[in-house]
Amino acid sequence: MSNWDTNIQEVRDSIILLKKEIETAEAKDRLDAVSRILQCIDFMRQSNAGWVQFLSNPQMVNQLDEEALKDIFARFKEMTVARIDSDVDCINRYMFNLTRRTG
């Protein structure tokens, strides 16, 4: 197994473990809820940075054919639209008039 394959397998395995942890996690209180939200955001940040690094490397990305790139795009498009919908929904539910309530 190549060094790349070993490294990417380790990354995948750690992501799967994190997924299991997040799926079973329950926020115990407000502070724990904030901590769990930040854990999720941190994963998304790291994931995005990894994808940017990979897709910015011509030697790596050139090994993917058009079908693979279109599939990855379709997945990212779906996630992005869902994330935008979620952001707008959370803004609508929780962010309007927030400064009036806290000020």
With the C-alpha atoms ordered 45, 50, 53, 57, is the resulting torsion angle positive or negative?
Answer: negative
The string of pLDDT tens digits covering residues 2-49 is 888 889 999 999 999 999 999 999 999 999 999 999 999 999 999 999
Interatomic CA distance for residues 19 and 92, integer angstroms: 28
The string of pLDDT tens digits covering residues 82-99 is 999 999 999 999 999 887
Are residues 36 and 27 in contact, defined by beta-carbon separation less than 8 angstroms?
yes
pTM for the whole structure:
0.84
